[in-house]
Amino acid sequence: MVFDDLSPDLADFARALVDAAGAAGLQPRVTSTLRTRSQQARLYRGFLANPRRAYPVAPPGYSAHEYGEAFDLVVSPMEALADVGYTWQQWGGGWDGADAVHFELPGASDRARQKGREQEGKSPFLVELASSLPFGLPLSLVLDFLGIPASARKSITPEQEEYLRSITLRSGLK
Ligand SMILES: [Zn+2]
- 149: in domain: no
Q: How confident is the model at residue 174 (pLDDT cuts 50, 70, 90)?
A: very low
Taking the whole predicted model, whether its pTM rises above 0.85 is answered as no
Domain span at residue 27 reads 2-123
14 inside domain: yes
pLDDT at 18: 97
In a domain, 6, yes or no: yes
- The total number of structural domains in the chain stands at 1
Question: pLDDT, tens digit, for every residue of 81-138?
Answer: 999 999 999 999 999 998 999 999 999 999 999 988 887 755 455 555 555 444 445 6
Question: From ligand 1's centre to the CA of 69, what distance in Å?
Answer: 9
For 41-89, give the DSSP string. HHHHHHHHH-TTSSS--PPTT--GGGGT-EEEEE-SSGGGHHHHHHHHH
2 vs 42: CA distance, rounded Å = 20
**CB neighbour list of residue 125: distance below 8 Å, 6 or more residues apart:** 41, 44, 59, 60, 61, 167
Residue 37 CA, ligand 1 centroid: distance in Å: 14
CA of 49 to the centre of ligand 1 (A): 19
Specify the CATH number for the domain of residue 86.
3.30.1380.10
The percent of the chain in helix, strand and coil, each rounded to the nearest 5, is: 55, 10, 35
**104 CA → ligand 1 middle, Å:** 8
Task: Write down the pLDDT at residue 46.
Answer: 82
* Model pLDDT for residues 69-83, shown as the tens digit of each residue: 999 999 999 999 999
Q: Please list all protein residues whose beta carbon sits less than 5 angstroms from ligand 1, which is an ion.
A: 70, 72, 102
CA of 146 to the centre of ligand 1 (A): 23
Domain for residue 138, yes or no? no
Q: What is the pLDDT of residue 112?
A: 94
